Amino acid sequence: MPVDERERGGAVSFLELDSFIDLPKELEDDLIEIGGRLPAWSVEGTFLARSTIERYRTELDSAPLFLDVKDRLLPQLGEAAGGYAVVRLRNIAQALGIGNQFLRLATAILTEVATPFQPFRRWPLWKEIGTNLHANPGLSTGTGYNAFHMDLVNVTQPPDYTTLLCVRPDPLGAGASILSDARAAVSRLTPSDRALLADAAYSYGSFFDLSDVGEEYKPFPVLDGEPEDLGFVRFTAKMLSESGLDEAHAHVAKELADQMVAEHVSFTLQRGDVLVVNQHRVVHGREPLGGGQRDIAPEDRRLLLQLFLCGAGTTGQAVT
């Protein structure tokens, strides 16, 4: 069953860690001022330019309380903690709107985690994930259940972090984000099951117009044998429908999916919330949107923006 971590008590676990970071009013006021003066970003190839990162960090350093937020955010994303965090910038979004000023500020904050980059060159740094009534309901832009997955599962060097900024929640109150600790789910499987998941037997998606994510990985193993800070649990529920998957490998992948569903968190992002997910540990998805989407004007339907982050030890530039 889904668990809202903010309501569950008892011993600390992935489900119960305080991953929601609220900002004190004094810091919000400082960040609103900073957001008003941040310059437009520049990119070098697909990566946010070093000069932009340095300028943004200098501005953030002028807010004395921001260090406290950074000191909470980075450990929370680490392997020893929850592997995800939600930075609540709602009041700042109310003050600045979610336009260029807000996006520069959100980008500046995320440079403290890793380097923003554009693996899809055909899309901007912040990629829109809107609501398309004609899309496959299970896709990120669809209206149905978007099952657990990691982004860019079929490349040799996926983004280390994926981030989602809520511009508009579903007006019908549905579409909650869901997250699960993929490594904990793997640990609940038998050794023989884990051995099958280490086989390069799985495939999903195409490799088209991508940059700085290595090469196409097809077929790929779910468990790559790398240390947790470097490797991934390469999983997307959509690979279960790929043709050519034999019964044994399909069965164990379904068992892993069931384990992810059995222990997961669920929460609804609000305008200005920024969700950061460590892809080395956590998979994500979405509950169905509310019925009656056709009665909502397109400009009022759920809208998220997505940004990818590349950390140290991966291709291209890295945060120092």
DSSP code for 287: P
Q: How many CA atoms lie less than 13 Å away from 118 in the CB half-sphere?
A: 18
What average pLDDT is seen over the chain?
Answer: 91
Count of H helices and E strands in the chain?
A: 8, 14
- Residue 2 counted as domain residue: no
Q: Which two tokens stand for residue 163?
A: 């981030």
23 pLDDT above the threshold of 70: yes
12 pLDDT above the threshold of 50: no
7 pLDDT above the threshold of 60: no
> pLDDT tens-digit profile of 151-178?
999 999 999 999 999 999 999 999 999 9
258 pLDDT above the threshold of 50: yes
Total structural domains in the chain? 1
Q: What angle do CA 184, 189, 192 make, to 5 degrees?
A: 140
254 pLDDT above the threshold of 80: yes
pLDDT band at 318 (very low <50, low <70, confident <90, very high): very low
Say how far apart CA 298 and CA 315 lie, in whole Å. 38
% pLDDT > 70, the chain: 91
Say how far apart CA 21 and CA 38 lie, in whole Å. 22
Lowest mean pLDDT among 115-119, 151-155, 316-320: 316-320
Closest CA to 140 of 162, 160, 110: 162
**pLDDT score for 49:** 98
Q: What CATH number did the domain enclosing 282 receive?
A: 3.60.130.10
- Residue 247 counted as domain residue: yes
Closest CA to 218 of 238, 237, 239: 239
**pLDDT score for 138:** 94
**pLDDT score for 312:** 63
Tell me the average pLDDT across 62-83. Answer: 91
Say how far apart CA 74 and CA 161 lie, in whole Å. 12
Length of the chain (residues): 320
Say how far apart CA 66 and CA 44 lie, in whole Å. 27
| Whether 220 contacts 202, CB under 8 Å | yes
- Residue 315 counted as domain residue: no
**pLDDT score for 8:** 32
What is the value of pTM for the model shown?
0.92
Closest CA to 23 of 81, 76, 70: 70
pLDDT band at 303 (very low <50, low <70, confident <90, very high): very high
- Residue 22 counted as domain residue: yes
**pLDDT score for 10:** 29
**pLDDT score for 228:** 86
- Residue 279 counted as domain residue: yes
- Residue 52 counted as domain residue: yes
Say how far apart CA 212 and CA 45 lie, in whole Å. 9
Domain of residue 37 covers 13-310
299 pLDDT above the threshold of 60: yes
pLDDT band at 229 (very low <50, low <70, confident <90, very high): confident
- Residue 5 counted as domain residue: no
- Residue 3 counted as domain residue: no
- Give the residue, 223 or 228, on which the prediction is more confident: 223
> pLDDT tens-digit profile of 266-287?
999 999 999 999 999 999 999 9
Question: What DSSP assignment string belongs to 1-68?
Answer: -EE-TTT--SS--TTTS--EEPPPHHHHHHHHHHHTTPPPP-EETTEEPHHHHHHHHHHHHTSTTHHH
Which residues pair with residue 87 across a beta bridge? 21, 274
Q: Which two tokens stand for residue 165?
A: 């900024």
Tell me the average pLDDT across 126-138. Answer: 96
| Whether 270 contacts 20, CB under 8 Å | no
**pLDDT score for 6:** 38
**pLDDT score for 316:** 39
